[in-house]
């Protein structure tokens, strides 16, 4: 997998500084070349420190569009909401001027919500300039979970880019996730992982094997979009 560039750091603060600077450069170039930039971010616990660094970068944030790779089907004020994390840790200070398109919406259920979110995503300039993904210890990325009934459809490249309703067999909450076609409708994908156990899962995912077992393989083993992996202990 020589097309995947690995970046290892001594700690998460060093990683946050380096990755924040890297994303800033990509967004800046996009604004210069196309007048606007787009950034897809993930939720969970890992990206908070990075977001706190990124929000202070000197950028014309009013030209940046931000959306989510996935969302839990909970109120956007709930502790589990990825939107809440992004609003509280990224969309403050200078970055508050960015345009944010959340995935959670007023639809009565996730399936209808996925259609709503797919329509909302069309407002975000694409191909996305940067897609920032996380990974769980079970090898899920975005909300593409091993064992999910909707995983086959989510990974099917004949399905147009969009959002899908998906459940995990192990993690709480119904989810919305960008499908693989949407994640790959991008100029660059960055996998941001921290901790020794995730490094071990990543090593397994780098080896050939079923994507359904470790869905992160769907982005690691593709050759359409340049891919970087950022890791700190």
Ligand X SMILES: O=C1O[C@H](COP(=O)(O)O)[C@@H](O)[C@H](O)[C@H]1O
Q: Which of 180, 186, 191, 130 is nearest to 4 (CA)?
A: 191
Supply the minimum distance, in Å, between the C-beta of residue 95 and ligand X: 18
Q: With contacts defined by CB under 6 A, name the span among 27-35, 135-143, 152-160, 204-212 that binds ligand X.
A: 135-143
Q: Is 134 one of the binding residues for ligand X (CB under 6 A)?
A: yes
Partner residues linked to 144 by β-bridges: 141
Residue among 52 and 60 whose Cβ is closer to ligand X: 52
Q: Is 139 one of the binding residues for ligand X (CB under 6 A)?
A: no
Supply the minimum distance, in Å, between the C-beta of residue 147 and ligand X: 14
Q: Is 113 one of the binding residues for ligand X (CB under 6 A)?
A: no
Q: Is 53 one of the binding residues for ligand X (CB under 6 A)?
A: no
Among 5, 45, 119, 204, binds ligand X (CB under 6 A): 45
Q: What backbone phi and psi angles, to 5 degrees, belong to 72? A: -85, 145
Four-CA torsion 59, 49, 85, 67, nearest 10 degrees: 40
- The separation between the first and the last C-alpha atoms of the chain, rounded to the nearest angstrom, is 22
Supply the minimum distance, in Å, between the C-beta of residue 124 and ligand X: 17
Binders of ligand X in range 147-206 (CB under 6 A): 171
For the record, the structure tokens of 3 come out as: 């097309």
Residue among 63 and 65 whose Cβ is closer to ligand X: 65
Residue among 12 and 118 whose Cβ is closer to ligand X: 12
Binders of ligand X in range 64-83 (CB under 6 A): 69-70, 82
Q: Is 43 one of the binding residues for ligand X (CB under 6 A)?
A: yes
All residues at 6 or more sequence positions from 168 whose CB lies less than 8 Å from its CB, including other chains: 140, 143, 145, 147, 148, 175
CA atoms of 227 and 75, how far apart (whole Å): 32
CA atoms of 24 and 17, how far apart (whole Å): 11
Positions in the binding site for ligand X (CB under 6 A): 42-46, 69-70, 82, 134-136, 143, 171
């Amino acid at each position: 997998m020589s097309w995947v560039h690995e970046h290892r750091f001594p700690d998460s603060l060093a990683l946050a500084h380096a990755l924040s600077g890297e994303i800033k450069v990509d967004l800046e170039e996009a604004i210069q070349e196309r007048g606007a930039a787009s950034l897809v971010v993930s939720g969970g616990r890992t990206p908070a420190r990075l977001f706190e660094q990124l929000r202070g970068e000197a950028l014309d944030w009013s030209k940046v569009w931000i959306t989510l790779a996935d969302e839990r089907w909970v109120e956007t004020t709930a502790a589990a909401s990825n939107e809440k994390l992004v609003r509280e840790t990224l969309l403050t200070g200078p970055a508050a001027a960015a345009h944010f398109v959340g995935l959670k919406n007023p639809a009565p259920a996730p399936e209808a919500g996925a259609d709503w979110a797919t329509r909302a995503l069309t407002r975000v300039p694409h191909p996305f300039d940067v897609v920032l993904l996380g990974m769980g210890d079970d090898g899920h990325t975005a909300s593409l979970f091993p064992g999910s009934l909707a995983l086959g459809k989510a990974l099917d490249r004949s399905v147009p880019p969009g959002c899908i309703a998906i459940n995990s067999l192990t993690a709480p909450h119904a989810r919305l996730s960008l499908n693989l076609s949407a994640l790959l409708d991008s100029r660059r994908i960055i996998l941001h992982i921290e901790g020794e156990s995730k490094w071990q899962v990543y090593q397994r995912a780098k080896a050939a094997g079923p994507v359904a077992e470790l869905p992160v393989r769907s982005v690691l083993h593709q050759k359409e979009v340049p891919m970087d992996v950022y890791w700190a202990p």
